[in-house]
Amino acid sequence: MKLNFRFATFVLTCCACLPATAQSPAPLSLEECISIALDSNPTVKIADMEISKADYSKKETLGQLLPSISFDGSYNRTLQKQVAYMDLDAFGDMPGADGSDVPGADSSDSKKDSDAGFKMGLDNMYSLGFQASVPLIAPQLWASLKLSDVQIAQTAEQARASRLDLVNQVKNAYFALLLAHDSQRVVKESYDMAAFTHEAYVKRREVGDASEYEVLRTSVAMKNIEPEMIQAEIAIRRAHLQLAILMGLDVDVPFTVDGTLSDYENDKFSQVMNLQADLTNNTSLAQNALQTQALRRTLSVQKASWWPTLALAGNYSWNSSSNGSPFKNFRWTSYSMVGLSLSVPLFQGGQRLNRIKQAQIQLDEMTYTRENLIRNLNSQATIAIDNIKLNVKQIASSQSSVEEAEKAHDIQQKSFEIGATTYLDLRDSELSLTKARLAYFQAIYNYLVANSDLELLLGNAPLESYSKK
């Protein structure tokens, strides 16, 4: 059955608006809960947004290879013009050097003018124009693009890790809710048996066949179970809220789960036979491999800083200069230029060499990190598989205990009805049966949680199938 979050929210919200006498919401299967969580959980949405952000970061780097065009404009108002001086003595004996050959000119006056200097420049200067540049040879930028590809792959793997972890959390919460419901049913059955026995003693007391002590004793036994029922209700509420949060639902949206823990017990032996510690899809190893690849790309980027760069630049501008008012006497002239800019790095105080050595050390560290990670993961996988096998044995043992406890309780029940046994013996058989049933469901829960944790460790959860639900 296909079910997405919007449809599930609509159904559950409609059910919440129905009268109390209306039909309760349809139970959700484990696969449907996982599908809703993968569609609406904020953690998954944030992981997807990180992928988009990494993609935009690559496009930003790619944009540096494209032409860069800008429009610039400036205006300068000269407050005090520059003064230029000329050394007339440097012209030596050249005729007219001292201004004496100029009719009407006094050599002393010319000397005074040269010492005073003369002002240069105009009052207003305008400049408008376009600037354009494009890199032709940029080895470091090319290496950065390859690094961006690895960073996108890293982000995608981190998003997959978030989904795998969410699937594991939803499964554990779902199984915890089933365990709470099963435990409540077991406790309720124990309470019903105690209440039935108490009612029987009350009736026998009325006819004088039982003492007041026996009535009080059965009443106390019945009331001692009531706190356990309250604890079961609290456990159900807590597991329900946890699952609702993981599914991205409001806590007041009603929903129920489908089945019992015993439904997941049938195929345990076939699953155990197929268990293998295959870490091919482990997300920690995948992220480690991508991180190693990213460090290699970073090392390439650092090495590329030794290579020269070549850029093509162009300029087309309009300039105007005038004296007086800045709002008139415009004299615009155009200017254009095209050229190549070559930059050859020669020496930067050893910065580039030290950066390369740092990157190489980080890359070497990843080799030892991966070796240690593989050993730890293999150990965790072996322990997880052993725990699953032990849990399977525990389920079989608990199931046998339940069967024996049920048989013993039936014998005690019939013996009690004919007066061949005491109430203490009957109550002891009831407690043994309750304990055996709770242990049985707890064993199944432990097996399911261990299996889910192994699935997370191996990274082989069928995420694609959940997204199609």
Using one digit for the tens of pLDDT, what is the confidence trace for 185-202?
999 988 888 888 888 888
- Is the predicted pLDDT of residue 19 greater than 50, yes or no? no
- Is the predicted pLDDT of residue 100 greater than 60, yes or no? no
User: 170 with 34: CB under 8 angstroms?
Assistant: yes
21 φ, ψ to 5°? -85, -5
How would residue 92 be classed by pLDDT, with cut points 50, 70 and 90? low
User: 356 with 302: CB under 8 angstroms?
Assistant: yes
DSSP class of 306:
T
How would residue 430 be classed by pLDDT, with cut points 50, 70 and 90? confident
Say if strands 332-343 and 309-322 run parallel, antiparallel, or are unpaired. Answer: antiparallel
What is d(CA 162, CA 48) in angstroms, rounded to the nearest whole number?
10
pLDDT for the residue 5: 44
What is d(CA 351, CA 306) in angstroms, rounded to the nearest whole number?
11
User: Of 17-26, 164-173, 383-392, 425-434, which range is least confident?
Assistant: 17-26
Helix (H, G, I), strand (E, B) or coil at 64: coil
Please measure the distance between the N-terminal and C-terminal CA atoms of the chain and give it in whole angstroms.
6
- Is the predicted pLDDT of residue 459 greater than 80, yes or no? yes
- Tell me the chain's radius of gyration from C-alpha atoms: 43
- Is the predicted pLDDT of residue 24 greater than 70, yes or no? no
The Cβ of residue 87 has, within 10 Å, a number of other Cβ atoms equal to: 8
pLDDT digits (tens, 9 = 90+) for 37-50: 998 888 888 988 98
Q: To the nearest 10°, the Cα dihedral for 379, 385, 387, 393?
A: -150
With vertex at residue 413, the alpha carbon angle to CA 411 and CA 414, rounded to the nearest 5 degrees, is: 70
CA dist list (Å): 268 to 66, 91, 297, 453 = 59, 110, 46, 15
With vertex at residue 417, the alpha carbon angle to CA 414 and CA 419, rounded to the nearest 5 degrees, is: 110
Please report how many Cα atoms fall inside a 13 Å half-sphere around the Cα of residue 347, on the Cβ side: 1
What is d(CA 366, CA 293) in angstroms, rounded to the nearest whole number?
10
The mean of the pLDDT values for the chain is 83
Q: To the nearest 10°, the Cα dihedral for 415, 417, 418, 422?
A: 60
What is d(CA 21, CA 366) in angstroms, rounded to the nearest whole number?
63
pLDDT for the residue 201: 81
pLDDT for the residue 409: 86
What is d(CA 141, CA 62) in angstroms, rounded to the nearest whole number?
9
- Is the predicted pLDDT of residue 13 greater than 50, yes or no? no
CB contact set of 299 (below 8 Å; sequence gap of 6+): 356, 359, 360, 363
The Cβ of residue 369 has, within 10 Å, a number of other Cβ atoms equal to: 14
The structure tokens listed for 242 are 């946890």
User: 37 with 248: CB under 8 angstroms?
Assistant: yes
pLDDT digits (tens, 9 = 90+) for 345-356: 888 888 888 888
